[in-house]
Structure 1
Amino acid sequence: MGCCPGGTASNVIAYWVDGDMDLSISMTTCSTLLAMGMMPLCLFIYTKMWTDSDAIVLPYDSIGLSLVALVIPVSFGIFVNHKWPAKAKIILKVGSIVGAVLIVLIAVVGGILYKGSWVITPKLWIIGTIFPAAGYTLGFFLARVAGLSWHRCRTVSLETGMQNTQLCSTIVQLSFTPEQLELMFTFPLIYSIFQLLFALLILGGYRLYRRHRVKTKTDVEKTAQESDLKSSAKTNGGFVSDEMK
């Protein structure tokens, strides 16, 4: 799991927490491209002591499909935003909601299809809980240490904690026998559940914080603009609309 690139689910969550979408998509794209060479290297380094190097099969076609599934929608979105900006905002809202629903649906379907994997030892539950939590926390902390802004810290945190669990599941399916699969599939399943759970907690926490404690840059700019309009109206002897009062 640690050798897998970032997943596209992080892009959807990054949108909902007002993250840097350019940074989010760039990190996902770069990690997927680098996975072509870095995954074999990392797996060789981390697993050479306990398994045969030929035992683990890397699905390069799945990696390529992940990259295509990321690049094509982004390219389409750039084109639509350039041609029809108003429609692009509607598509963005609808697409982000559909994407969030699909993320939850995929996690639920995965759990139903592999019911045998739910015979899980407590150690795996603990590791599956700590692993994504550590990724989110370290990503945010290191981004802040590097001096990044808060919205970019949230983005880096999500990109660090959310892995491509579908790719990990594919590797497991190609590398182990059906008898071993139910046991080996357990960890990707647990990780996908808790990475989604923590991401939803981050999203919920951020939304509550934004609603009750702070205003975003857009809100501040809007308030300043309204204040300027009021001042201008008073100075020029004009009127102030009900919306501005």
Structure 2
Amino acid sequence: MKKVCALIGKYFGVIAVIFLIIGMTLPTSFSWVLGKVGGISVLSVLLGVIMFGMGMTMSVHDFALVLKRPKDVFFGACAQYFVMPFLAYVLSTIFQLDPALTVGVVLVGTCPGGTSSNVITFMSKGDVPLSVTMTSVSTLISPIMTPLLTYLIIGQRISFDPVGMFLSILQIVIVPIALGLIVKSFLPKLADTATDYLPAVSALAISFLIAGIIGASRDAILNSSGIILLVVILHNCLGYALGFFIGHLCGMSWKKMVALSIEVGM
């Protein structure tokens, strides 16, 4: 079983592509991912399981080290809220998107990365504690930064639910990771055994999410303009590259640069 789990973790990229194809060709096959069981969101449970697994691979000491270098978190927040929003506006201008699409692209750029950046950082072997801390900080300041930047860049006022976003991060990220840290601290042998299987569990959970989300969005993807897809792809790819470059300029380690790159690009 360990060998199978190791293979799943190693070839996660290939598995993710396979599930993406399944989502496009059989859009209803993973529709349960976006449903509810007993009133509980399956998607939230899957993300919570992934975060719980992350918690068991970390320690409180890791977060203490992050807090000793608040500069890294500061640079992450600055990159998140200045690189992506203005990059979104520049790309929308270059490709002459209509006002409605420009608003959408800029709004995506001004929103924090959320749990997805933590998951991808974990799978990419980046600095997960730094990623989680940056996500938490960017989420806490999002009630101010997201509406403000959206208004400054394109002059559009938006409604925003900061309380709902904070509660979502608390339930899906903070609580599961805290539980994982507790298990790691009080049941270290169980945590060490679980780490042999966690990459596979996370890889499968993410693959299910990919298939479910792609399946639900298939018609929109197929009906969308190629220019829009190009803008979205360029927005993310340039965000990753600029995030990595900023991390390099700030003298960060490789793992920290990976975390910053993903946090910015997401």
TM-score category (smaller protein): 0.5 to 0.7
Query: Given the alignment of the two structures, is residue 34 of structure 1 paired with residue 141 of structure 2, yes or no?
Result: yes
Percent of residue pairs bearing the same amino acid type: 29
Residue matched to 1:75: 178
Q: Is the 8 A contact 1:11 1:25 kept in 2?
A: yes
Q: Out of 34, 48, 59, which is 2:161 matched to?
A: 59
CA distance in 2 between counterparts of 1:32 and 1:100 reads 25
State the one-letter code of the partner of 2:234: I
- Once the two structures are overlaid, the 10-residue window that deviates more, 7-16 or 151-160, is 7-16
Q: Out of 224, 228, 232, which is 1:120 matched to?
A: 224
CA distance in 2 between counterparts of 1:57 and 1:19 reads 34
Residues paired across the two proteins, number: 157
Counterparts in 2 of 1:92 and 1:32: CA distance versus 1, 3 Å: farther
Residue matched to 1:226: none
CA shift, 1:46, in A, is 2.4
CA distance in 2 between counterparts of 1:144 and 1:100 reads 28
Which segments of 5 or more consecutive residues in structure 2 lack a partner in the other structure? 1-107
Q: Out of 148, 151, 160, which is 1:44 matched to?
A: 151
Residue matched to 1:199: none
Residue matched to 1:21: 128
3-state DSSP class of the match of 2:110?
A: coil
Query: Given the alignment of the two structures, is residue 11 of structure 1 paired with residue 115 of structure 2, yes or no?
Result: no
CA distance in 1 between counterparts of 2:196 and 2:231 reads 35
3-state DSSP class of the match of 1:5?
A: coil
The TM-score normalised by the length of structure 2 is 0.54
Q: Is the 8 A contact 1:32 1:66 kept in 2?
A: no
CA distance in 1 between counterparts of 2:201 and 2:143 reads 29
Query: Given the alignment of the two structures, is residue 101 of structure 1 paired with residue 204 of structure 2, yes or no?
Result: yes
CA distance in 1 between counterparts of 2:196 and 2:190 reads 10
CA shift, 1:92, in A, is 4.4
Instruction: Answer with 1 or 2: which has the greater Rg.
Output: 1
Counterparts in 2 of 1:107 and 1:62: CA distance versus 1, 3 Å: farther
State the one-letter code of the partner of 1:37: I
CA shift, 1:133, in A, is 0.4
Counterparts in 2 of 1:102 and 1:65: CA distance versus 1, 3 Å: farther
CA distance in 1 between counterparts of 2:121 and 2:252 reads 15
State the one-letter code of the partner of 1:83: F
Residue matched to 2:89: none
Query: Given the alignment of the two structures, is residue 110 of structure 1 paired with residue 192 of structure 2, yes or no?
Result: no
Counterparts in 2 of 1:121 and 1:14: CA distance versus 1, 3 Å: same
The TM-score normalised by the length of structure 1 is 0.58
